[in-house]
């Protein structure tokens, strides 16, 4: 730090005796972290996969380097461009250190919270570090983007990996290069580092030898108590799922029941976080008889359960149970994320076989065409799938933490590094946040199911192409002629809006497409009583999303009222409310059931 930085008003001085004690304790806690990391290896239960991932990164970035080095003149020009900008930065920094004004050579995005502390701009040294980082990462990204002769998939992977490395190496992540962290450490005489190392040890232990970054206070939530607490009964159970029927809160309900098919990558209660945010509780209050599948957290005994099994033992078993408990042969169905992909494939299978039990379907942030599937496609090519399949073969499933990490990597500057810095350097436990608690409550995936999903959807896009088969039945989405409602979210990194928009056009019936603000979760969980985001409507999807949006009407507030109007219009007749405690199926237990409480 420069003299100017040292002499800033309020610059703290440590208690050196306390600092000495804290550093000794810090070393002790670091030993606990090492022990937690090594324990799975000593016991022969270490989780694999990291070596394959590192190998793919090295191979991909090696391809980029090879393309540049094959043309020495272009490589020299690229290096010269970086050198020139650094000379500009050095000259600018010298002027600032002499008390002159100088425009920055490069500035961070105004939304980049990593450099929000005023000293990043006011202190010439930290301003130099910040700009040097931004120049270097911008240059590296351009190398990946402009390398000639790379195929599209390799280029996409290279840019993604460059962003991950850039996020990890940000000066905001390290004490010595972050002015705010320096002040915190001096003010607390290193006590923050001791607390951080204690949390790091706990999180490595919780991850079974791998770091499971806490994003919320894990002790402040309990499923069934302050999460997933909408009243209801589990009315059916098999080895893949429990079926919850929720208790009515209106005297009359729509005749046609509603069946929700959530993703199995995460647990269903994203739709039932708490009374204020619960889509399920709200749907019940609108006069719907709501059933929801709660998928099991599978173990090695379910390794061979396939995508088709999830249709037969999940959706079909649920439809049978709904019919038995309500006497209704037709339902409306909602599929969320991969649950929606399964629902779409199921509808194509039903259409091919004359099965009319689902009379209308809603797809929430669901991809059926994976042409524009975004950064998750980085993880899908033949070599990577084979590596994952080999890993899954050892235990029969994919660890839930693997998918959770992949999702977090889509937004590392929001979902990874802020928590690492806050938890383990500042030593501050994260605030209780129900959505992020749910995000960390990951589930495993059966080997057969996950392999099918990666190959048939992400790698080959066979559902969109009409080449996916369940048994001897070829699945054609154009055969699905029931009314469908498709919700995309504008900032979705998991199911990009462009991808959802394109896929929605493959269905053969009346289609309603709605675009909501925000992302994959917040755009969906946007209750009318406390709306945070708007939505856009423009009828049937045609052409490209950008063209559709130009003519769309922006509507303030939640999309939920638009959806319930659509649902009610399909079948407006109402009947006496149905109590799950009084139906033909004997309740097995209270909601939320037992499967949702199985931890990864």
- Per-residue pLDDT of 506-536, as tens digits, reads 999 999 999 999 999 999 999 999 889 999 9
- Phi, psi (5° rounding) for residue 341? -65, -45
**Block residue for tokens 């440590």:** 14
**439 and 467 in contact (C-beta within 8 Å)?**
no
pLDDT mean over 62-84: 90
pLDDT mean over 186-211: 90
Q: Is the pLDDT of residue 459 over 60?
A: yes
Q: Where are the alpha helices (DSSP H) in 353-496?
A: 382-395, 400-409, 412-415, 417-424, 434-440, 447-453, 462-465
**Average of per-residue pLDDT values in the chain:** 92
pLDDT mean over 290-312: 97
Among 18-22, 54-58, 62-66, 209-213, the range with the most confident prediction by mean pLDDT is: 62-66
Alpha-carbon distance values, 410 to 354, 370, 424 (Å): 40, 17, 22
Q: Is the pLDDT of residue 565 over 60?
A: yes
Q: Is the pLDDT of residue 1 over 80?
A: no
Reference 421, options 230, 592, 206, 177; nearest CA is 177
Higher pLDDT, 545 or 211: 545
Which range (46-50, 105-109, 139-143, 242-246) has the least confidence? 46-50
Confidence tier at 7 by pLDDT (50, 70, 90) = very low
Q: Is the pLDDT of residue 46 over 50?
A: yes
Which residues, listed in sequence order, are joined to residue 291 by a DSSP beta bridge? 245, 259
Confidence tier at 539 by pLDDT (50, 70, 90) = confident
pLDDT mean over 113-125: 94
Q: Peptide bond before 592: cis, by omega within 30 degrees of 0?
A: yes
- 336 contacts: CB under 8 Å, gap ≥ 6: 260, 261, 262, 263, 270, 271, 364, 365, 366, 524
pLDDT mean over 438-463: 95
Homologous superfamily (CATH) of 232-597 is: Alpha/Beta hydrolase fold, catalytic domain (3.40.50.1820)
pLDDT of residue 268: 97
pLDDT of residue 50: 61
**464 and 492 in contact (C-beta within 8 Å)?**
no
| pTM of the predicted model over 0.75 | yes
To the nearest whole percent, how much of the chain has pLDDT over 90?
A: 78
Confidence tier at 51 by pLDDT (50, 70, 90) = low
Dihedral of alpha carbons 53, 55, 56, 60, sign: positive
Say which of 292, 337, 457, 589 is annotated catalytic.
337
To the nearest whole percent, how much of the chain has pLDDT over 70?
A: 96
Confidence tier at 4 by pLDDT (50, 70, 90) = very low
Q: Is the pLDDT of residue 146 over 70?
A: yes
Region for 466 from its dihedrals, namely left if φ exceeds 0, alpha if ψ lies in -120 to 50, beta otherwise: left
Confidence tier at 48 by pLDDT (50, 70, 90) = low
pLDDT of residue 234: 98
Which range (270-279, 408-417, 546-555) has the least confidence? 408-417
- Phi, psi (5° rounding) for residue 444? -80, 165
Which range (6-15, 360-369, 408-417, 485-494) has the least confidence? 6-15
Task: State pLDDT tens for residues 337-353.
Answer: 999 999 999 999 999 99
pLDDT mean over 75-91: 92
Rounded Cα distance, 127 and 121, in Å = 5
Reference 56, options 381, 318, 487; nearest CA is 381
The ranges of the chain annotated as CATH 3.40.50.1820 are: 232-597
pLDDT mean over 241-256: 98
Q: Is the pLDDT of residue 10 over 60?
A: no
Catalytic residue check, 337:
yes
Rounded Cα distance, 407 and 436, in Å = 12
Among 101-105, 106-110, 372-376, 552-556, the range with the most confident prediction by mean pLDDT is: 552-556
**552 and 577 in contact (C-beta within 8 Å)?**
no
The angle formed by the CA atoms of residues 595, 598 and 600, to the nearest 5 degrees, is: 135
What letters, b where the CB count within 10 A reaches 16 and e where it falls short, cover 403-431?
bbbebbbbebbebbbbbbbbbbbbbebbe
Q: Is the pLDDT of residue 443 over 80?
A: yes
* Cβ count near 91 (within 10 Å): 12
- 331 contacts: CB under 8 Å, gap ≥ 6: 256, 257, 258, 259, 291, 319, 322, 357, 358, 359
Residue by residue, DSSP assigns 116-171 as: -STHHHHSHHHHHHHHHHHHHHHHHHHHHHH-TT--HHHHHHHHHHHHHHHHHT-G
**Block residue for tokens 């694999």:** 48
Rounded Cα distance, 147 and 142, in Å = 8
Confidence tier at 334 by pLDDT (50, 70, 90) = very high
């Amino acid at each position: 730090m420069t003299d100017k930085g040292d002499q800033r008003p309020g610059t703290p001085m440590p208690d050196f005796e306390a600092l000495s004690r804290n550093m000794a304790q810090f070393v002790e806690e670091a030993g606990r972290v090492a022990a937690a990391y090594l324990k799975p290896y000593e016991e022969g239960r270490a989780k694999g996969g990291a070596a394959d991932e590192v190998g793919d990164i090295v191979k991909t970035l090696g391809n980029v380097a090879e393309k540049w080095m094959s043309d020495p003149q272009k490589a020299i020009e690229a290096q010269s461009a970086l050198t020139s900008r650094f000379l500009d930065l050095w000259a600018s920094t010298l002027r600032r250190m002499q008390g002159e004004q100088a425009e920055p050579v490069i500035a961070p995005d105004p939304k980049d919270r990593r450099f929000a502390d005023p000293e990043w701009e006011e202190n010439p040294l930290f301003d130099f570090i910040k700009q040097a980082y931004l120049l270097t990462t911008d240059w590296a990204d351009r190398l990946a983007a402009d390398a000639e002769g790379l195929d599209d998939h390799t280029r996409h992977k290279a840019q993604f990996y460059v962003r991950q490395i850039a996020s990890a190496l940000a000066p905001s992540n390290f004490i010595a290069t972050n002015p705010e962290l320096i002040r915190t450490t001096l003010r607390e005489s290193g006590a923050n580092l001791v607390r951080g190392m204690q949390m790091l040890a706990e999180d490595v232990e919780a991850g079974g030898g791998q770091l499971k970054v806490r994003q919320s206070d894990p002790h402040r939530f309990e499923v069934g108590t302050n999460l997933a607490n909408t009243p209801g009964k589990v009315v059916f159970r098999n080895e893949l799922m429990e079926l919850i029927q929720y208790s009515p809160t209106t005297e009359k309900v729509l005749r046609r029941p509603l069946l929700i098919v959530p993703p199995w990558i995460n647990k269903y209660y994203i739709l039932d976080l708490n009374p204020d945010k619960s889509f399920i509780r709200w749907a019940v209050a609108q006069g719907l008889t709501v059933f929801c599948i709660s998928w099991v957290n599978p173990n090695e005994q379910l390794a061979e359960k396939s995508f088709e099994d999830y249709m037969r033992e999940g959706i079909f078993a649920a439809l049978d149970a709904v019919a038995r408990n309500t006497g209704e042969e037709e339902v409306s169905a909602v599929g969320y994320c991969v649950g929606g992909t399964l629902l779409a494939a199921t509808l194509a299978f039903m259409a091919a076989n004359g099965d009319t039990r689902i009379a209308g379907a809603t797809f929430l942030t669901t991809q059926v065409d994976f042409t524009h599937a975004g950064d998750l496609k980085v993880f899908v090519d033949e070599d990577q799938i084979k590596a994952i399949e080999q890993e899954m073969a050892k235990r029969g499933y994919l660890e839930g933490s693997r998918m959770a990490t992949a999702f977090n990597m889509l937004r590392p500057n929001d979902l990874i590094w802020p928590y690492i810095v806050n938890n383990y350097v500042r030593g501050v436990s994260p605030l209780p946040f129900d959505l992020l608690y749910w995000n960390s409550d990951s589930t495993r995936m059966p080997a057969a199911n996950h392999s099918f999903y990666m190959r048939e959807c992400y790698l080959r896009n066979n559902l969109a192409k009409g080449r996916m088969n369940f048994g001897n039945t070829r699945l054609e989405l154009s055969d699905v002629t029931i009314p469908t409602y498709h919700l995309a979210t504008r900032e979705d990194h998991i199911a990009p809006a462009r991808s959802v928009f394109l896929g929605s056009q493959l269905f053969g019936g009346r289609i309603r497409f709605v675009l909501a603000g925000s992302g994959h979760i917040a755009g969906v969980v946007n209750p009318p009583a406390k709306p945070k985001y708007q939505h856009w409507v423009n009828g049937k999807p045609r052409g490209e999303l950008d063209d559709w949006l130009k003519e769309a009407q922006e509507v303030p507030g939640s999309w939920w009222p638009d959806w319930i109007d659509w649902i009610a219009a399909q079948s407006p007749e109402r009947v006496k409310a149905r109590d799950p405690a009084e139906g033909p199926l004997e309740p097995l237990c209270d909601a939320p059931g037992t499967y949702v409480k199985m931890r990864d």
